[in-house]
Amino acid sequence: MTPDEHQQVIDELQVVIDDTQHTLGRFEATGMDQQMPKDYDKMLDILDDAVTRQRAHTLAMLV
């Protein structure tokens, strides 16, 4: 991948990260994290995966 392609993926993953963090915050604010723990855990997995992939693309771009 070119640096520009890596940056595009990084930017798109940031949108996923931001949206997921916003949704997690809403879940926590309304107590849904307690009422729907499996869904909450799935969102945490999505966030973790997006951050991991973003980090990998950042490192690849720096090489």
Q: Which residues have C-beta within 8 Å of that of residue 51, sequence separation ≥ 6?
A: 13, 17
Contact 6, 57 (CB under 8 A): yes
How many folded domains does the chain comprise?
1
Structure tokens at 32: 């849904």
Query: Quick one: pLDDT at residue 63?
Result: 83
- The predicted-structure confidence for 20-58, as pLDDT tens digits, reads as follows 999 999 999 999 999 999 999 999 999 999 999 999 999
* Pair 54, 10: CB distance under 8 Å: yes
Instruction: Tell me the C-alpha distance between 50 and 56, whole Å.
Output: 10
Instruction: Give the predicted TM-score (pTM) of the model.
Output: 0.92
| Tokens encoding 38 | 């499996």
Q: Which domain holds residue 33?
A: 3-61
